[in-house]
Structure 1
Amino acid sequence: MKIKNTALFIFMMTVAFMNAQNVYLSKVEKTKENKDKYFFKIDPTKSDAEYLGEIDVQGFSNDDATIYTSILKKAKEIGANAFSYKPFESVDEKTQPFNPANYQLGLYYITKDELSKPSDVMYFFSSSSKPQTISINKKDYVLQPRSFIAIKGIPGEIYTISTKKFLGSTIKISVNENSQAQYFQISSAKIKSNTYGEPGINLKSGDIMGLDKSFGDFLRMIYTENN
């Protein structure tokens, strides 16, 4: 009996280790004093962003909200309010594809003027573990786990979004001139919402959850876009 219990303990510890994800500041160039709650994805080559440092993420986890929170806390330690993905290069100087178990982020500070750029794009994310079916104005899409689609909206149009499930959610989305991008996750799993106004998940409607831009930008980086 003791041997079985020991073997079970070792197995559980191995699984836990394989699913552990470590987040740490690997480089600090400078710090900024600010209380910004947002944390947006940017292209530093097309921005006047001020470089602050880097974060390394090692290990894989399906709990995207928890990992995002860990990254956000580290970024705020040096006053960052923006990030970009920093791809690794192989020995032959070719850029390696994104690896959700090992990646690096550049941390930046940007002014509020750079955040006011309008966008008419709607992003729809699948769950982290199961495929999801979504209908947008009666057109069906099947999203594989950890993937998303981006729909360019037409100002003034109303979009009907449905999960096509019995007792599933249906919402209507409008796109306005000079509005910000909108982010939604399609999932049957329950995800704990953050306090309104905090970065993370702010809105929830059954199995269609509205996400704030910060968390949406993070998912847009770690998930694969369906073209």
Structure 2
Amino acid sequence: MKNIAIIFSVLCMQLWNAQNVYLTKVEKTNDNTDKFFYKKEETIADAVYLGEVEVQGFSKDDALTFSLVYKKAKEIGANTFQLKPFENVDGTPQAFNASNYKVALYYTPKEKLSVQHGEMYIFASSEKDQKISINRKDYIISPRSFLKLKVIPGEIYTVSTKKLLGSTVKIQPKATDDNVYFQISSLKVKPDNLGVGGLNLKSGDIIGLEKSYAEFLSVIYKESKP
């Protein structure tokens, strides 16, 4: 009975983490070699709607989810995206559900994309609250959420995880710099694979994120007000 319970538990975990990404609608295709995949701004009027991707099932591996969405988007030449909420019977948008959502895909000419600057995004990636310090001011970021802070060009910003063996980074943005994106990883303890015994401890790392992935996280995570 104990073995059956364990097997059932494993199967439930697999079903919980099962995820599929489908290209559910194709209106047009666009032939381009753009590698980026940015969030579409509401004010952009020249974006061409190409189709939709639907994500079914929840996964903790957001990087994998993004790569699957990105691959589907590039099949039809999309370089920008926008979250498309499901609607209630009365036409109002439903609250975001990380287990099932749609992403509208667009092609936007490069010259219509404006540089986004003056902000710093910090994403939490663990299942627990993350405590960080920015210029000696403490913040707590809940799981699957992010902070968005205004930055002043020329000013130095020190971001620290305030943990044993944690990371600290310093940035000094210029007026023309793009937004900066970081992710705070959780505590990781794993067996040593080098044959010398013990554990490899990795705590509170601060990881720089590429803009396309960061903007994807900004639509599936919840913004935490400082």
- TM-score over 0.5 (shorter chain): yes
The question of whether the paired residues in 1 share the 8 Å contact of 2:161 and 2:204 is answered with: no
The question of whether the paired residues in 2 share the 8 Å contact of 1:118 and 1:178 is answered with: no
| 2:90 paired residue among 79, 85, 92 | 92
Provide the TM-score with structure 1 as the length reference: 0.87
Counterpart-to-counterpart distance in 2, 1:213 and 1:83? 13
| 1:40 paired residue among 38, 41, 49 | 38
- Shifted more, 79-88 versus 35-44: the winner is 35-44
Provide the TM-score with structure 2 as the length reference: 0.87
Counterpart-to-counterpart distance in 2, 1:38 and 1:95? 28
CA deviations 1:41-71 (Å, max 9, x no partner) are: 1134534111100000111111101111111
CA deviations 1:98-140 (Å, max 9, x no partner) are: 1111100000011111334241110000114221111111100
SS of 1:13's equivalent in the other structure is helix
Q: Given residue 87 of structure 1, which amino acid in structure 2 is its aligned partner? A: P
1:104 equivalent in alignment to 2:128 = no
Q: Percent identity?
A: 56
CA deviations 1:162-188 (Å, max 9, x no partner) are: 111122111111121122111000113
Question: 1:145 maps to what in 2?
Answer: 143
CA root-mean-square deviation: 1.8
How many residue pairs get matched? 211
Distance change in 2, residues 1:110/1:189 (3 Å):
farther
The question of whether the paired residues in 2 share the 8 Å contact of 1:158 and 1:175 is answered with: yes
Distance change in 2, residues 1:189/1:75 (3 Å):
farther
Counterpart-to-counterpart distance in 2, 1:45 and 1:12? 46
Query: What pairs up with 1:1-227 in 2 under 5 angstroms?
Result: 4-188=2-186, 207-227=205-225
Counterpart-to-counterpart distance in 2, 1:168 and 1:99? 32
SS of 1:46's equivalent in the other structure is coil
Structure 1 residue 4: Cα displacement: 5.0
SS of 2:6's equivalent in the other structure is helix
Distance change in 2, residues 1:108/1:128 (3 Å):
farther
The question of whether the paired residues in 2 share the 8 Å contact of 1:57 and 1:104 is answered with: yes
The question of whether the paired residues in 1 share the 8 Å contact of 2:145 and 2:224 is answered with: yes
Counterpart-to-counterpart distance in 2, 1:33 and 1:47? 20
Question: 2:199 maps to what in 1?
Answer: none
Moved over 2 A (4+): 3-11, 43-47, 114-118
Structure 1: runs of 5 or more not aligned? 191-204
Structure 1 residue 6: Cα displacement: 4.7
CA deviations 1:192-224 (Å, max 9, x no partner) are: xxxxxxxxxxxxx97000001000001101111
Distance change in 2, residues 1:28/1:44 (3 Å):
farther
Structure 1 residue 20: Cα displacement: 0.8
The question of whether the paired residues in 1 share the 8 Å contact of 2:126 and 2:186 is answered with: no
The question of whether the paired residues in 1 share the 8 Å contact of 2:81 and 2:106 is answered with: yes
Q: Given residue 124 of structure 2, which amino acid in structure 1 is its aligned partner? A: S
Structure 2: runs of 5 or more not aligned? 189-202
